[in-house]
């Protein structure tokens, strides 16, 4: 153990800045969850479609995002996408797009299994009631799949909150970015980065505990 003297004075001083960063991190996460919870479902329907024109490209999309590091995805959207598409949006927007697509891909895998858990008798009933494919997907399958998939969706969301820290490398001023600035300005990297880690933990841990609890509750109900 080194005889390092902890001094949180500057970190406490810079706490407001960390909170600003946290707001950005939460905005990014909320955007990705808000869109990804539904787009993941739509993507899951597409990947399991009997129409290969739909299933093959969407499966490719999912595997691309699952089999490449999130860091590359973020960097690619920040540096490469604007050049290819000739659009120049804010770092926040590019980060949000990358994270949302990433979460969509992971959520679609959770939904794929969940959709298969919806009893096929409900399909019969939907046809007998004359519901359109879209009404059936939206009002019969989605609410049930959401319930079945929720443990994985929550763990994906927590994972995404952690991954959102990667946007700091493309100068999105999130919690990680502000922590880095604070560390450099105060010459106190240990205090700054430890505080940042504690903040990530303090938000993620209760949610993961709560989710595990809810999951056990449902498991008991279904047993």
Q: Which residues bind another protein (CB under 8 A)?
A: 119, 121-122, 124-125, 127-132, 135, 139-140, 143-144, 147
Q: Length of the chain, please? A: 223
Contact 118, 137 (CB under 8 A): no
Q: Supply the minimum distance, in Å, between the C-beta of residue 114 and another protein.
A: 13
Tracing tokens 């024109």 back to the chain, one arrives at: 53
Q: Supply the minimum distance, in Å, between the C-beta of residue 131 and another protein.
A: 6
Measured from the CB atom, the residue of 42 and 131 that comes closer to another protein is: 131
Contact 163, 70 (CB under 8 A): yes
Q: Supply the minimum distance, in Å, between the C-beta of residue 148 and another protein.
A: 11
Q: How many CB atoms lie within 10 A of CB 18?
A: 21
Measured from the CB atom, the residue of 147 and 216 that comes closer to another protein is: 147
Measured from the CB atom, the residue of 5 and 52 that comes closer to another protein is: 52
**Residue whose C-alpha is closest to residue 102's, from 28, 175, 170, 174:** 28
Measured from the CB atom, the residue of 13 and 133 that comes closer to another protein is: 133
């Amino acid at each position: 153990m080194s005889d390092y003297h902890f001094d949180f004075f500057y970190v406490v001083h810079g706490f407001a800045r960390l909170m600003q960063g946290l707001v950005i991190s939460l905005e990014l996460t909320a955007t990705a969850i808000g869109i990804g919870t539904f787009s993941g479902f739509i993507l899951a329907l597409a990947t399991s479609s009997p129409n290969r024109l739909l299933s093959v490209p969407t499966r490719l999309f999912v595997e691309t995002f699952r089999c490449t590091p999130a860091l590359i995805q973020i960097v690619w959207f920040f540096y490469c996408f604007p050049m290819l598409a000739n659009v120049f949006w804010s770092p926040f927007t590019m980060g949000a797009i990358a994270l949302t697509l990433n979460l969509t891909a992971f959520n679609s895998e959770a939904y794929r299994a969940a959709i298969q858990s919806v009893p096929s008798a409900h399909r019969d009933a939907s046809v007998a009631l004359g519901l359109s494919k879209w009404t059936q997907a939206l009002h019969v399958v989605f609410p049930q799949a959401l319930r079945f998939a929720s443990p994985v969706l929550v763990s994906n969301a927590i994972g995404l909150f952690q991954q959102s820290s990667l946007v700091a490398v493309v100068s999105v001023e999130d919690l990680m970015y502000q922590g880095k600035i604070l560390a450099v300005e105060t010459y106190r990297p240990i205090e700054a980065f430890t505080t940042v880690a504690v903040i990530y933990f303090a938000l993620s841990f209760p949610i993961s505990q709560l989710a595990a609890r809810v999951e056990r509750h449902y498991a008991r109900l279904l047993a």
